[in-house]
Amino acid sequence: MASVSVSHMILFIASMLVAASVAGVFTDTVGQLSNAIDDQGLQVSQDVRTDVEIISDSGSSNVYDDTTDNVTLHVKNTGSETLPADPGAVNVFVNGQFETDVTVSLYGEGPSWRPGSVLKLVIDRSDDPLAVNEDHRVKVVVNGDEEVFEFRT
């Protein structure tokens, strides 16, 4: 009878060790999943609150300067999210080509692009000037919000 209770005790201890290991793995996995969901929720919330509008006049001669080959656009933050006013926060495509030579300046005060304020984008196209008397498209992407601006040079 003593050998039966020792074997039961060994099985009991072994099952407790296995159960504790499984519980530890599940707890860690659930914690990682919870953190991932929180991070994703924050990103979705920022994306939903981000809204920008290109307010430049497509018929204006100020959009494309053929002496400097610069495209100049004014983009208004119409969402509720304050955005960084730096070129890294804004992706710009001209006629489907990703632009890397983009400068930004903020109208108004402060370093942040607040709701209601306007950002000036200057896209340097001196390496690849736009063809004259043709239609062109500029796509501006900020936090997943995409705006397309069409103009003729």
Segments in 50-134 forming alpha helices (H) = none
* Tens of pLDDT, residues 109-152: 778 899 999 999 999 999 999 998 999 999 999 988 999 999 99
CA distances from 136 to 82, 129, 149, 153 (A): 29, 12, 8, 8
**113's tokens:** 């692009």
pTM: 0.68
The larger pLDDT score, comparing residue 12 to residue 153, is at: 153
The enclosing H or E element of 149 equals strand 145-152
The enclosing H or E element of 6 equals helix 2-49
- Tell whether the model's pLDDT for residue 88 goes beyond 80: yes
CA geometry: angle 83, 73, 88, nearest 5 deg? 40
* Tens of pLDDT, residues 9-21: 788 888 888 888 8
| Percent of the chain as helix, strand, coil, to the nearest 5 | 35, 35, 35
| pLDDT value at residue 144 | 87
Q: Positive or negative CA dihedral for 97, 100, 80, 63?
A: negative
